[in-house]
Structure 1
């Protein structure tokens, strides 16, 4: 890991307005004194957070009035994202005041997207880009089932066909024998492809399908001008991403604001 890798992860995953926000009913983004605030109708601190990653950032007391105003409509909570265990004074403040960790995810970077290689997964797997409402619905059904999320959550995350057709976003569905079994998506942040929503239905796991659809998404983003890639991941998916070529750069940790905040 190099400082430039970490900076790339911070910029792509936290500090730049993502293209999908404009498709959300209450999607909003604000930069304030080096802090990036991201919010929408999606629930909880995982989707509504202030990213405090720069040295010399405001103190918690300075941030709170701005955050309270920005997240006033986040009725299921909001949080503050920091680089975990990096010695940033904001994390020390949050711990001292009793804020608890809501999410703790590893940030990964792929320095050269061409190194990801072509999609694999066996000749039986066919990957298509979502270009119709039926394709978008298939993506939502797969991710909802794989992540054990309620269907209305998937509808919130992919609210329209316009979302799937945005030139800075792409969704992919993989099928075997006419049955949709895996999915992936990405959004563009400059020349960085932000990979997300990689999922495989339970009965079809362990066959390389998730890795294949992720590689297909990365290859497509390269055609749109991306040269690097970034993502956040939980522990179960890390081996897949490391096989593709992603390398760990830092920990993105979100602390949930107390209810009385």
Structure 2
């Protein structure tokens, strides 16, 4: 229960959920790799996009941090792949970002780690009456999911389609910890959300809405549906990492900030 956990335990659960999500597809898809080096975790999708290649879970000795940082980055450089380094509240050393910047990476994103009590979720939110939300269960729906996610980028990122095509068997599994949702507005697939059930909490990911469908409550409705799905199978704590644009949406659903995540590229 939320009120029974310390801030440290909540941070740890949030970061564990995030690491589980970042590694989920690569660990189960032929041609992709998760390299666990003990003090670092490298996720290699083979797709030329830093949206799908990661370095995370850093637990680096301060005497080795410079060398280990360069080794991890060089792994992806040698493969010709861009990568994003995720720094969470448990990453070590505490000033890891300084070393990443010395290695040539830039801090490109700061996300707020947020939590919510799923027992206090609203039953519904204001959204268009002609919005239909479905759990992704077919190849066609997965392609539509990828299309909606790719629209977040300008121009749309074709690597998103390539990634979800490669991980189709994993993404369409109906009995795993990951559930994908697709929102249809006026019959058009325009929004997505995902919930990942891991480390005792429900993590929200891939919340995206096509530009022309924004500011109508659609993203909020997709997020609520994913959280309600987790609540229905017994989860009481929701977690997510929110960019500046999404924080107000999540606050309306009862989320509050407890830590920060930084992304370096």
TM (norm. structure 2) is: 0.79
Mapped to 2, the partners of 1:52 and 1:30 lie a distance apart of 12
Give yes or no for contact 2:88–2:261 (8 Å, CA) kept in 1. Answer: yes
Secondary structure, in 3 states, of the residue corresponding to 2:246? helix
Q: Which moved further from structure 2: 1-10 or 206-215?
A: 1-10
The alpha-carbon distance between structure 1 residues 17 and 79, as it changes in their structure 2 partners (threshold 3 A), is: closer
Q: Distance in 2 between matches of 1:171 and 1:191?
A: 19
Structure-1 residue corresponding to 2:83 = 78
Which of residues 144, 156, 170 in structure 1 aligns to 2:163?
A: 156
| Corresponding position of 1:40 | 45
- Secondary structure of the equivalent of 1:174? strand
1:93 and 2:102 aligned: no
Q: In the alignment, which residue of structure 2 is the partner of 1:259?
A: none
2:191 equivalent to 1:185: no
Q: Which residue of 1 aligns with 2:3?
A: none
**Alignment partners' CA distance in 2, 1:109 and 1:158:** 30
**Kept in 2: contact 1:132–1:161 (CA 8 A):** no
Describe how 1:194-233 pairs up with structure 2 within 5 A.
Answer: 194-233=203-242
Indicate the residue corresponding to 2:19 in structure 1. 14
Structural mapping, 1:78-157, within 5 Å = 78-83=83-88, 88-95=94-101, 97-120=102-125, 121-148=127-154, 149-157=156-164
Pick one of 176, 180, 196 that aligns with 2:185: 176
**Structure 1 vs Structure 2 CA RMSD:** 3.2
Contact 1:45 1:79 in 2 (8 A): yes
Check whether the contact 2:61–2:93 (CA below 8 A) recurs between aligned residues. no
Q: Is the 8 A contact 1:12 1:194 kept in 2?
A: yes
Whether 1:253 aligns to 2:237 is no
Contact preservation (8 Å) 1:168, 1:187: yes
Determine the C-alpha separation between the residues in 2 that align with 1:143 and 1:77. 19
Kindly provide the CA deviation profile for residues 215-249 of structure 1, in whole angstroms up to 9, marking residues without a partner as x: 10111123344332322232111211121122223
Following the alignment from structure 2 to structure 1, what is the Cα–Cα distance between the partners of residues 159 and 72? 27
The yes-or-no answer on 1:4 pairing with 2:13 is no
CA drift of 1:101 comes to: 1.5
Deviation at 1:54, TM superposition (A): 4.6
Aligned residue for 2:56? 51
Native 8 Å contact 1:183 1:199 kept in 2: yes
Mark the runs of 5 or more structure 1 residues left unpaired by the alignment: 257-261
Q: Give the Cα separation in 2 of the matches to 1:242 and 1:214.
A: 12
C-alpha distance in structure 1 between counterparts of 2:103 and 2:71, whole Å: 20
